[in-house]
Amino acid sequence: MGSRIKYLDLIKFFAIYFVILGHSIQYIGANPWQNIIWKFIYSFHVPLFMVVSGFFFSSSLKLSFGSFIKKKTIQLLLPSLCWYLILCLLNSALYSIINKELTLKYDLHGLLNSFWFLKSLFFCYIITYLSIKLFRNELAACIISCIAVCVIPFATYAAINFLLPFFWIGFYLKKYIAWIDGKGNLLWKISFVAFMLLFVFWNSKYTIYKSPIEILSYNPVSFSVGSFLIMLYRLFIGAVGSLLAIFSLRYLYHRFENNKITDKLCEMGKHTLGIYLIQTVIFEVFFFALSLSFDSLIVNLVSPFLSVLILLICSMLANMIMKGRYSKLLLLGMQG
């Protein structure tokens, strides 16, 4: 498809808003794990971002492997590194001011795990690209790669084994978008009912943070039925939650198409990478230093408005960064 599917920008906007809202609840709440809004968001919001990312993957298959690696390194890893350096400098400056002691705060763990979603996305791109080129059959590539990351220990890094299936869902969503658009109303009803039924059983212990995918153990060799069942449940709720969000926002876009507010939201949705990077710094530096801890009622009242404010600030800063040739390259991975 050559033309831009504009409602995807609206989906990206709400996806990044959910990220910021989840972080707002996490950084100002006393117990985010038990917050109903937080649990709702974390049941599907990261998978939603990966589904949308996978939707745009097919154009990468036209590139040579060298060009593909170079493009994704600049686009995803370079900004991660540059923003990690900014994160370290700001944390060091803040720590030095508070403690009146000059300190440089950095560590290898932070370097490897900061902005983890972008690193997971980088490897999902590589795995999908190589598997399609190797097997020359998309379905075989999908099945084999998804099984492989569930049993290879390395794939726990940056939750690759959790997110790769959602990247493939996005790939197939693009492949069959014409058929899906024709069945939009029916698919919305199915995804709505499925998500509501699955969400009844959702618990914070099912998040990837508390229950990483550890199906196989190798010393000694054993198979974890519990981890396998949690993985399947998390896959289904993440998939139907993502599809519900996509079909709902697709309807809203067409309902309010050419509306000034819709156009503005879609415009911000084009810059989710910059917003994601900047909001990470805001939360991990300034909100972390504040150590706020409010009860759920205050958090649920304040966090939606706080999230809007942070999103607007991040969008403004991202637009400022885009005006500079080198800042755009280093901080947003954008060439030209």
pLDDT the model gives residue 102: 63
Rg (CA), the chain: 20
Q: What is the mean pLDDT of residues 4-11?
A: 87
Q: What is the mean pLDDT of residues 38-58?
A: 95
- Lowest-confidence range among 97-106, 182-191, 258-267? 97-106
Whose tokens are 């998040």? That residue is: 207
CA distances to 38, 96, 138, 296 from 31, in Å = 10, 29, 43, 8
Q: Does position 130 have pLDDT exceeding 70, yes or no?
A: yes
pLDDT the model gives residue 143: 97
Q: What is the mean pLDDT of residues 122-145?
A: 96
Q: What is the mean pLDDT of residues 187-192?
A: 95
The 3-state DSSP class for residue 73 equals: helix
pLDDT the model gives residue 207: 92
Assign 220 a pLDDT band (cuts: 50, 70, 90): confident
Percent of the chain past pLDDT 90, that is, above it, reads: 74
Q: What is the mean pLDDT of residues 205-217?
A: 88
Q: What's the pTM value of the predicted model, to 2 decimals?
A: 0.94
Q: Does position 160 have pLDDT exceeding 80, yes or no?
A: yes
pLDDT the model gives residue 223: 87
By CB neighbour count within 10 A (0-12 exposed, 13-18 middle, 19+ buried), where does 230 fall?
buried
pLDDT the model gives residue 277: 97
Nearest to 23 by CA among 146, 117, 98, 154: 117
CA distance 35 to 330: 37
Q: Does position 2 have pLDDT exceeding 60, yes or no?
A: no
Q: What is the mean pLDDT of residues 254-270?
A: 91
Cβ atoms of 324 and 276 within 8 Å: the answer is no
Assign 335 a pLDDT band (cuts: 50, 70, 90): confident
CA distance 100 to 86: 20
Nearest to 25 by CA among 311, 292, 242: 292
By CB neighbour count within 10 A (0-12 exposed, 13-18 middle, 19+ buried), where does 311 fall?
buried
Q: Does position 1 have pLDDT exceeding 60, yes or no?
A: no
Cβ atoms of 29 and 299 within 8 Å: the answer is yes
pLDDT the model gives residue 154: 86
Two tokens at 243?
A: 């599809």
CA distances to 1, 105, 180, 191, 240 from 185, in Å = 22, 52, 9, 10, 14
68-114, pLDDT tens digit by residue?
Answer: 999 999 999 999 999 999 999 998 888 778 776 666 666 777 888 89
CA distances to 12, 215, 244 from 49, in Å = 7, 25, 13
- Lowest-confidence range among 115-124, 174-183, 309-318? 174-183
Q: What is the mean pLDDT of residues 317-335?
A: 95
